[in-house]
Amino acid sequence: MKTIFNLYALTLAVFAISCVVLMTEPGQVIGVPRDWLLGYFCYMPLFWAGQIVALIILWIANIRGKFWNSLWMCLASIGIGVTFWAQSYAMPTAFPTEQLNAKYYSVEDANMFIPEEDSRVYVTEINGEIRIFPRYHLQVPHVAGWESEGTGYAITYCGLSNLPMVVETDYGLGTSDLQVLGQAHNNLIFKDVNNGTAIQQITMQSEFTEHTTTVHPNTQMDWEKAKTMYPDAKVYIYGMERLIDSILLGLFEKPLQDQRDIDNPNFMFDTLNLADSRLNPKLEVIGYDNGTQQIAIAPDFARANDGFVFELNDDVLQISTDGDVIRLVNTMGEQVATHNGVHFGIWTQFFPNTEVLK
């Protein structure tokens, strides 16, 4: 009977640890399918209830058979509790989003906090108000929010995809609270803890409802150019106040450099279908998605073709560039939302039928 008891306890432990692996980065290292991650998240309360019932059965069996002493049983119970925490709170603890508490500074005050080795920024203009988001300061929190004229907005950033997305935070379900759930295929997945759904960052589509966020344009450029063009802008700065922040930046600095290295064929997580050879999979393209069709524009093509007009289904779009900064505008001259700097190999994972301009 003791052997059966030990096997039962081992099975419970293995299952709990497997759930932790599934919901954290090691799961993507071993290539756990995206649907498994989302399925577990969707039914997490049932999985937790099942494990709690299994733990209760373990306690009852031990009380009757006295197989383990109380210390071992308590440690087993604590272990299960730790796995519950890891499954749900490890990622938000490591990467605390700032949708509701982001801090903004003047260009002059922010200047000392933008490192020369990573000076890329993303610029938004909403309701006449310009905000600048340095990539370096988005890497840990992943989300920075603000409010304008009664509407909540946020920029989301995925370091693996090198992708910023500016969205309205109420996407039809009411006030959201976006936190980091995990990632799949080298792209971030958020969980909206207020509304019980998950959102894939590259599509900003709710996984368990039909709701899609409203996406707004952002413009990618260098900090030196941005602060000259927009001296009165508000600049987002992440405080870097926790010890774990410097640890995380140290851990991910070299892997992210390799991820952005166009001559390095390897992605951090080997879960991508890289069969599309039209462009280097590491190339940082300008992606556009109108909901039914997508296009990826090579940056060199865009910079060499200011004023180039093309059609994508019913959309008539034009490349606008000064040879450095690239925007995509419609027939009214209004900037449209694009996926700036996303790696082509990740873009094609989610949009395999994309057209290409190169």
Query: What's the pLDDT tens digit per position in 144-197?
Result: 999 999 999 999 999 999 999 999 999 999 999 999 999 999 999 999 999 999
Token code pair at residue 205: 């589509």
Res. 134 pLDDT band, cuts 50 70 90: very high
Question: Given the DSSP bridges, would you call strands 315-321 and 309-312 parallel, antiparallel or unpaired?
Answer: antiparallel
Angle at 154 between CA 232 and CA 327, to 5 degrees: 65
Which residue type, as a one-letter code, is found at position 211?
Answer: H
Question: Given the DSSP bridges, would you call strands 326-329 and 309-312 parallel, antiparallel or unpaired?
Answer: unpaired
| Helices 2-23 & 70-94 angle (0-180, nearest 10) | 10
pLDDT value, residue 123? 98
CA dihedral of 94, 97, 101, 107, whole degrees rounded to 10: 100
Contact of 197 with 101, CB cutoff 8 Å: no
By CB atoms closer than 10 A (0-12, 13-18, 19+), residue 204 is buried
**pLDDT surpassing 90 at residue 1:** no
SS3 state of residue 286: strand
Integer Cα distance of 10 and 15 in angstroms: 9
pLDDT value, residue 333? 93
pLDDT in tens, 49-74: 999 999 999 999 998 888 988 888 89
Integer Cα distance of 130 and 146 in angstroms: 12
Among 44, 53, 49, 52, CA closest to 19:
44
Q: How distant, in Å, are the alpha carbons of 156, 182, 283, 315 from that of 355?
A: 25, 29, 15, 14
pLDDT value, residue 26? 83
The whole model's pTM is what? 0.91
Alpha carbons within 13 angstroms on the beta-carbon side of residue 175 total 6
**pLDDT surpassing 90 at residue 31:** no
Can you name the residues that pair with 219 across neighbouring β-strands? Answer: 123
**pLDDT surpassing 90 at residue 314:** no
**pLDDT surpassing 90 at residue 95:** yes
pLDDT value, residue 23? 83
Question: Given the DSSP bridges, would you call strands 129-134 and 234-236 parallel, antiparallel or unpaired?
Answer: parallel
